[in-house]
Amino acid sequence: MAKNWLEFVRRGWRKPPRVIARWVFRQISAEVDVFLAPGRARRLTEGRLLRILGADSIDSEWKRLAGLPYPAFTQPMDAERYERICPADRARILAAADKALEHRVDLLGSGPVDLGSPIDWHRDFKTGHSWPVISFRRVGYRNPERKSDIKVPWELSRLQWLLPAGQAYRLTGEERYAEAVRRVIEDWMQGNPVGMGINWACTMDVALRAVALTWFFHVFHGSAAWADREFRLRYLRLLYIHGDFISRHLEWTDVNGNHLTTDLAGLVFVGLFFGRGKGPGRWQGKGWHFLEQELPIQVNADGVSFESATAYHRLVLELFLWPALYRRARGLEVNAAYRDHLIKMAEFIAAYSREDGSSPLWGDADDGRFLPFGGQNINDHRYLAGLAGAALADETLANRAAGPLDEIVWALGPDRASGLGKTPMPPRSRAFGQGGVYIMGRGGDHIFVDCGPVGFAGRGGHGHNDCLSLEAMLDGKTLLTDCGAYLYTASARWRNRFRGTAAHNTPMVDGEELNRLVRPDYLWTLHDDAKPEVRRWEVGGEQDVLVGAHTGYLRLAGPVRPVRGVMVDKARHRLIVADRFEGQGDHQGDHQGDHRVTIPYHLAPGVTVEPAHPGSWRLAVDGRSFCLIWRQVEDWEVSIKEGWQSPSYGVKVPIAVVEFTRRGPLLPLTVAFAPSDQVSLMTQEWLDSMAADIFSSSAG
């Protein structure tokens, strides 16, 4: 413990004085609030709350709040019309609602779990560990040696698993849904006094819970089950306390990310929900002011979030988008620069979404959402491009909503959603240079290449050691995948394995990480070693070419610069990956010095591999046959290893990994993936010609 504090002080002392001063002030304020928060909650009596809100009575205030505009669709939903727009989704919603009524959840890879009644809100039901109900400042949850996952109770207390019950109520009008949701919320209030326990320890989760509570209000406000005045008082007090708590515990750091953004979005939502009163007015104004400041800082001008992760890009766009929609619903301004930035973020989603609806597993993922309404696969982000386009009046983007429309229906209503996705535009090759992402191909070919910074302003954050890594779909079949994220604090070993270099399709030299870990228990920090360099980017009618390099291994005793060329033959669905290694700092490729180089290719789930003949392997997936060929048979050893892919948080599935290994002087490797009927055309001379063409025009 003493060593951790010494390291914390050592690293913190390097920060600018203003950052240190703000951090110290926040710590002091939070400690003071440990003693003040319970008393402040007790003093929020009915009379005081009514005075704050300028209301005559709880019932009249309830009616006023119900009449205020809300950014999501919360009116009764015509079941037959919904079935026409979203076939079979009504059955999914009703089934999920019934599970919620039974307190049965499946969160973060847990599998079905019966929570019982009352619910233990402070327990990680995946491991059985429970946290004490003590001051939120005294709860210890950053303990990688302990077998527990703090995200489980946090996710449970976001209350998003109850959203299907609200949707079912709007589809059926059945009071049992309103009654059940009321009982759960009352149970949560009973088990989580303000400022006590782990569910107040992370402001981000407080904010997401507050957002869910605003939605539940607008769904159930007119139900018989929610008509009791005492319950209405407790509910409004709970929401007000959430807004007040968020405003006092914003998660500022010297580099702000999705935690602060969530806090600010929550402030806007709670402030606009109440609509009047000094506190709510200050919350929504402050939240929006800082969202406007943070958007161009956290999101590059090309629209790529500096989190360097597709799942977090999706979350961050939701965090910036929904407060804007709430402001517009209330007749407040959203400036053009803010809107345009959101459009660029949505364009990135449209670009990285594959034709089957899947997304690359770039960087971290913890399944985090703002208001999750849909039942699509967790890695299908297409709805958000369509939602942003429709909400922000961008017709081209709106038509990219090629997947299920349920998310958009519950956000914008059936009238605005029913005409979307009729003429989806095909994806095209695009460079997102500031974010460091290059997307190649057309039609059924989709190659996603990372040639960008480590993420989070060089700190690591939710970014991985994946520079020069790629994911590949050819002719509609995903062949290559990154491995995902799997776990965070629940296991430092698995956390570091999944974010490490070996879990990505990129060269690894001498067994070293391309960005060094600061320490194994620093789960969101990396050294900024691998500076990317793009030497060639060309998009053509028949083929696309990218050549990139990075500096991650120049720190070695014998410096090495990996240089990777990627070519997509769009006419024949062929992918060529050519790796070269510049040794001793020689740009021309000095091959002196002995090194151990490993180049893995992680095959997507369901892809099988078997030898065909020397220099060729057969890949099979969904009845289709592809080949992987290389011609430096004597120079490289090749083997099939067992690996893991994590499609969502807490879940891992086995995959095969084709691994090329070489010990000795640095030599090149060129591989190609293509449909099997192309194999006779891919000779040694053809591979050599492709590699020469890839590197012929690259700079340096």
Quick: pLDDT tens for 320-341: 999 999 999 999 999 999 999 9
Task: Break the chain into its structural domains and give their ranges.
Answer: 14-241, 430-696
CA-to-CA separations, 332 to 323, 326, 329, 413, in angstroms, rounded: 11, 9, 7, 20
Classify residue 51 as exposed, middle or buried by CB count within 10 Å of its CB (0-12, 13-18, 19+). exposed
Give the pLDDT of residue 679.
Answer: 82
| 150-181-245-142 Cα dihedral, nearest 10 degrees | 0
Asked if 126 contacts 149 with a C-beta cutoff of 8 angstroms, the reply is: yes
Tell me the two tokens of residue 171: 């589809």
Q: What is the pLDDT of residues 149-169, one digit of tens each?
A: 999 999 999 999 999 999 999
- The residue with tokens 């939240």 is 287
Residues whose CB is less than 8 angstroms from the CB of residue 297 and which lie 6 or more positions away in sequence, other chains included: 256
* Residues 90, 484: Cα–Cα separation, whole Å: 31
Tokens of 669: 């490797």
Q: What is the per-residue pLDDT for 588? A: 46
Q: What is the dihedral of CA 141, 143, 147, 151, to 10 degrees?
A: 40
pLDDT tier at 685, thresholds 50, 70, 90: confident
pLDDT confidence tier of residue 87, bands split at 50, 70 and 90? very high
Instruction: Give the angle 538-540-544 at the CA atoms, nearest 5°.
Output: 55
Per-position DSSP letters for 363-418, written without gaps between them: S------SS----S-TT--HHHHHHHHHHTT-HHHHTT--S--HHHHHHH-HHHHT
Q: For residues 128 and 150, what is the distance between their CA atoms, to the nearest angstrom?
A: 11
475/663 Cα distance (integer angstroms): 35
What CATH number does the domain located at 430-696 have?
Answer: 2.70.98.70
- CA 528 to the chain's CA centroid: 21
Average pLDDT over residues 547-573: 97
User: For the segment 585-620, what is each residue's pLDDT rounded down to a tens digit?
Assistant: 444 444 557 999 999 999 999 999 999 888 899 999
Cα–Cα distance measured from residue 460 to residue 255, given in angstroms and rounded to the nearest whole number: 11
Helical spans, DSSP H, in 192-309 = 203-220, 229-248, 258-274, 278-298
Q: How confident is the model at residue 12 (pLDDT cuts 50, 70, 90)?
A: low
> Is the model's pLDDT at 283 over the cut of 80?
yes
pLDDT at 700 over 80: no
Half-sphere exposure (Cβ direction) of 66: Cα atoms closer than 13 Å = 16
Query: How many C-beta atoms surround the C-beta of residue 126 within 10 A?
Result: 19
Q: Is 191 exposed, middle or buried (0-12, 13-18, 19+ CB in 10 A)?
A: middle
Burial category of 522 from C-beta neighbours within 10 Å (exposed 0-12, middle 13-18, buried 19 and up): middle
640 CB-contact burial (10 Å; exposed 0-12 / middle 13-18 / buried 19+): middle
As given in the structure block, the two tokens for residue 591 are: 């091959």
pLDDT at 5: 45
Position 692 confidence tier, pLDDT thresholds 50, 70, 90: very high
- What average pLDDT does this structure show over 511-535? 96
Q: Is the pLDDT of residue 15 over 90?
A: no
The span from the CA of 213 to the CA of 209, in Å, is 6
What pLDDT does residue 632 have?
78
Mean pLDDT, residues 573-596 taken together: 77
SS (HEC) of 591-611 = CCCEEEEEEEEEECCCCEEEE
- N-term to C-term CA, the chain: 48
**Residue 6 confidence (pLDDT) above 50:** no
The pLDDT assigned to 121 comes to 98
- Tokens 């890949």 sit at which residue? 619
How far is CA 595 from each of CA 499, 507, 515, 630, rounded to the nearest angstrom? 23, 12, 18, 21
Place of tokens 């290893």: 641
The pLDDT tens digits for 432-459 are: 999 999 999 988 999 999 999 999 999 9
Q: What is the mean pLDDT of residues 223-242?
A: 98
Q: What is the pLDDT of residue 587?
A: 45
Beta bridge partners of 578: 565, 670
Query: Is the predicted pLDDT of residue 343 greater than 90, yes or no?
Result: yes
pLDDT(141) > 80: no
Label residue 678 by pLDDT band (50, 70, 90).
Answer: confident
Strand partners, 638: 660
Task: Assess contact for 507 and 597: CB atoms under 8 A.
Answer: yes
Q: Quote the strand ranges of 584-700, DSSP E.
A: 594-602, 608-613, 616-621, 624-630, 637-645, 653-665, 669-675
pLDDT over 90 (residue 143): no
Distances (CA, A) of 553 to 169, 353, 532: 57, 32, 12
Percentage of the chain with pLDDT > 90? Answer: 82
Q: Which residue has the tokens 């920060």?
A: 15
Among candidates 272, 325, 273, 317, which has minimal Cα distance to 295?
Answer: 317
Contact status, residue 219 vs residue 170, Cβ threshold 8 Å:
yes
Instruction: Single out the residue of 485, 128, 432, 174 nearest to residue 303, CA to CA.
Output: 432
Helix (H, G, I), strand (E, B) or coil at 161: helix
One-letter amino acid at 118 equals: P
Confidence (pLDDT) at 13: 55
Place of tokens 């870990």: 517
Distance CA 225, CA 11 (A): 53
Distance, in Å, from the CA atom of 150 to the CA atom of 104, rounded to the nearest integer, reads 19
Question: Which pLDDT does position 3 carry in this prediction?
Answer: 43
pLDDT of the residue at 636: 95
- Relative orientation angle of helices 336-352 and 310-329, to the nearest 10 degrees: 140
Q: What is the mean pLDDT of residues 619-639?
A: 93
Q: Which residues of 435-444 are buried (b: 16+ CB within 10 A; e: fewer)?
A: bbbbbbbbee
pLDDT for 14 equals 61
Burial class (CB within 10 angstroms; exposed 0-12, middle 13-18, buried 19+) of 424 = middle
Over 60: is that where the pLDDT of 181 sits?
yes
pLDDT range class, residue 264, cuts 50, 70, 90: very high
Residue 410's Cβ-side half-sphere holds a number of Cα atoms within 13 Å equal to: 26
Task: Round the average pLDDT of the chain to a whole number and report it.
Answer: 93
**CA 42 to CA 37: how far, in whole Å?**
9
- The confidence score (pLDDT) of residue 424 equals 64
Q: How, if at all, do strands 437-440 and 430-432 pair?
A: antiparallel
Indicate the residue type of 397. L
223 contacts: CB under 8 Å, gap ≥ 6: 169, 175, 178
Q: Does residue 292 carry a pLDDT above 70?
A: yes
Cβ contact 500:513 at 8 Å: yes
